[in-house]
Amino acid sequence: MNLTTRRSFLHGAGVAIGLPFLESLPAMAGPANGRRRLVAVNVGLGLHAPNMIPTAAGKDYELTPYLKEIGEFRDQFTVISGTSHPAVGGGHSSYKSFLTGAQHPNSAGFRNTISIDQFAAAELGSETRFGSISLSSSGPGLSWSRSGVEIPAITRPSEVFRKMFVAGKPDEQARQLQRLRDGQSILDVVLDKTKSMCRRLSGRDKEKLDQYFEAVREAERRLVKAEEWEHQPKPVVAVKPPQDEPDSRKIVEQMRSIYDVMHLSLETDSTRFLTYNFTGMNAVPVVPGVDEDYHNLSHHGLDAAKIKQLTLVESVVLREFGGFLKKLSESSDGDASLLESTMVLFGSNLGNASSHDTRNLPIIFAGGGFEHGQHLAFDPENNYPLPNLFVSMLQRLGLETGSFATGTKPMDGLKMSVTG
């Protein structure tokens, strides 16, 4: 294997394993040569604002219950309140405009516009194996083409994993997937090449490679376990079956698997533009203390008992998001962490899911080389255009644009880091 390129791969029968940044490869020095990445995550059933948004603005705000779930990264994210997409209503259908800003998504003649990830991918996506990846817990995604066509979202993490790591002819792919089911690893195929490469790596790189390979194995274990459930015969019971598949209720396992493959795809530089639509469900999620339908809980009507259960669900959502941030912060990307080179937008297309209100969207913006550790509080009565944040993000990617959708300038109060 040539040890001079950032996008190095270990190849074996039916396998192509992208490698993370390694300091022993001199051509990959620096902050990944200025490469920037963009991730957007949407929580389709909203986030209860009192648990999410601080009361104080600026840097001295007190962490709210939800922000405590990601509190260790306080200096690496900005809380943004008082923003929305102008003229975007429509309740749940507003997810279509979360990354596009296209107005009136619930109108009969609605035609969407390009999403920020696809705008960036059109300019920069050719630099990676996959220009972009759109993911969803179920159903629609967040990505839209320049002509307003929805980019089909992948709902199975194993499909992303297969795209990233399983190569070769169909029969080779089938044999390799069977190896996973048999408890073996795709890493076994390239074991000899790995040993040869490790002799030329520094001690620090060997440790990093061990950590990366363990992440691959952990992803394999989760994906195989998920596949086992799909093939298990279902018991026959004399009651009406639930609307959703049982697996869709296991939101912790589902989110963790998706975040795992998102992290791996970024770490291996397989793509730099990712979107993830966590749609929620019309079922009871597997969360201790929760016995009501997630969708119904989001329509709490200020009922204290419902809000208590909703808080349990949404705390899990924030906790898993925090796990993703942790993975990014612990992964090197040149002289920086992957979090420092990756802009992560996390929020919801609904400001108040209970009333289907699309104003005052709850937004967290992390990483990406910005000055964070603050709460940017805009006017809750006269919202600030969220697409101005998109302008900031596109400019951070190095794209010369002064507008996007209804955004006409970079976001006020959000500054790029001099060192980032």
What's 238-268 look like in SS3? CCCCCCCCHHHHCHHHHHHHHHHHHHHHHHC
Any idea which of 46-55, 106-115, 136-145, 232-241 has the lowest mean pLDDT? 232-241
Under a CB-based contact definition with an 8 Å cutoff, are residues 327 and 336 in contact? no
Any idea which of 149-158, 200-209, 290-299 has the lowest mean pLDDT? 200-209
Q: How many whole angstroms separate alpha carbon 75 and alpha carbon 220? A: 33
Identity of the residue numbered 206 = K
Question: Domain 26-171+251-396 maps to which CATH number in 3.40.720, 3.40.50, 3.50.50, 1.10.1740?
Answer: 3.40.720
Q: Note the pLDDT tens digit of each residue in 85-100.
A: 999 999 999 999 999 9
Report residue 24 as tokens.
């022993």
Q: Could you tell me the residue ranges of all domains in the chain?
A: 26-171+251-396
Residue 63 has pLDDT above 90, yes or no: yes
Q: How many whole angstroms separate alpha carbon 216 and alpha carbon 207? A: 14
Residue written as tokens 């990846």?
133
Q: How many whole angstroms separate alpha carbon 183 and alpha carbon 341? A: 34
Report the share of the chain in percent with pLDDT over 70: 76
Under a CB-based contact definition with an 8 Å cutoff, are residues 299 and 356 in contact? no
C-alpha 1, offset from chain centre: 31
Report residue 384 as tokens.
């600030």
Report residue 176 as tokens.
């390799």
Per DSSP bridges, beta strands 336-337 and 332-333 are: antiparallel
| Whole-number pLDDT of residue 82 | 98
263 or 18, higher pLDDT? 263
Q: Note the pLDDT tens digit of each residue in 187-205.
A: 665 555 666 677 778 877 8
Q: How many whole angstroms separate alpha carbon 78 and alpha carbon 88? A: 23
| Whole-number pLDDT of residue 335 | 85
Residue 320 has pLDDT above 60, yes or no: yes
Looking at the chain, how many residues does it have? 420
